[in-house]
Each structure stands twice: as structure tokens, then as C-alpha cells.
Amino acid sequence: MTSLENIKWQTEALEPVEALAFLGNQFPGEIVFSTSFGWEDQVITHMIFTNNLPIKIFTLETGRLFPETYYVWNRTMEMYGKPIHAYYPNNELLEQMVNAKGPSSFYESVENRKECCGIRKVEPLRRALAGNKCWITGIRAEQSADRQFMDNIEWDEQNNLIKFHPIYSWTLEQVKAYIRENNIPYNTLHDRGFPSIGCAPCTRAVQPGEDFRAGRWWWEDQSKKECGLHVHNE
């Protein structure tokens, strides 16, 4: 039985907090959780902080976040009294891109948008994950068609580590109920039609009946709406 298969077997009957605690003990000092302060991430942050789990929480500070996101970041640190580690883009790469193409080149082509995501998100993520063996995320099956065919525990070949989605099978209603019951601070953009919140220039509200991620990079074809952070291995 491989390590990944063994972990799947040992966590399949555990509740999210129990599974997080198990993985924290399995990978001491080598397990991290990435938050972008959305609904799902706030649920997992609450689980980690209130149970004093040995899991480092980090975020990608792209420099283009919504004011509401910064507010939730501040409120979360105030509420739990624990650090959230920020990873910033490589300043030299960012300056080169903006100097050559301007501050809004991502609207001009998919290639330019992927370049921007690569500099502001993907490269900082690589640094955040370096040296770790387990990456916790807030991915849920409902979030997009591609994510319905994943496992809650998988091997991330790009980053060479185990990836665990503790609330993968939760519905949005379960997430919102958990937030209400535990008085967890959340991004008020969610109340204004933003189910998925990224950088401010690249996120709009979703209209009734639209896909969950329709508001992300809305000017692009639906099939291209991933930034490169979460690459699913078929």
C-alpha cells in the first residue's frame, strides 16, 4: 500500500477536523494551508486555529485584492490572534511585466492573463509550498465541472506533495451554515453575488443561473477559467 493510499484509508472515515489533526501529526512542520479568505477557506482556518492544529496558514498577496478581502484578512487575525503568512510576487518579474505591457495586460489575451497569474500567484505559491509534504485547500466538488472528478486526497505532481481538500464533499449551504453557527468572519462580497473571489480586476459578480466561476476572468472562454494553482491530474 502506497503512502497516499494509506493516508486515504486512514482518513476516509474521519471528520474534517480529525483528518486535519491526523495529517498535522503525520507531517510535522511540513503541512500548509492556503487561504484566499473565501467562504471555504474561512471554515478551514477556523478549524485549524480553534483546535490549535500544527498547520501553517498562508495567503498569496497579489497586490490586486479587493478591499473587502483585506478587511477579512485583518478581522481573521484579530479574532484568532494567530499569524497568516503572506507571499508576495517577485518584484523584479512584476516590474518587468508592467513596464513592458502596462498594469492591465491580462485583458488583452489568455497568454497575458496566464503570465500575470504566473507572476502574481503561481510563482509565490511554489515558494510557499517548497519543502512541504502536504497542502490543504478549500476546494469543493460543487465549485466547477472539473473539480467534480477529483478525490479529496490526491497527489500533486507539479508540486510533489499530497493535496487534501477537507470539505470537498460539503455543499455551499453546509459551508454557510458552519460560518453562521461559529460566527466566522467572511467576505461580504459573497452577499453581493461573488461566489468565487480573486483579484479585483479579474472578478465580477455572478448572475442568477450562471456557473460558480463565471465571474472569474469573465471575458474568457469557460474552459480556460483556471489560473494554474490547482492542476488536476487525470
Residue 198 to residues 1, 16, 64, 201: CA-CA distances in angstroms?
38, 25, 9, 9
Phi, psi of 190 (to 5 degrees): -60, -30
Residue closest to 107 by CA, chosen among 226, 204, 201 = 201
The yes-or-no answer on residue 116 being catalytic is: no
Residue found under cell 486526497: 153
- HEC string for 21-67: HHHHHHCCCCEEEECCCCHHHHHHHHHHHHCCCCCEEEEECCCCECH
8 Å CB contact between 233 and 154:
yes
Phi, psi of 126 (to 5 degrees): -55, -40
Alpha-carbon gap, residue 121 to 60, rounded angstroms: 6
Contacts with 38 (C-beta within 8 Å, 6 or more apart), sequence order: 138, 187, 190, 196, 197
Alpha-carbon gap, residue 162 to 156, rounded angstroms: 6
Catalytic residues: 227
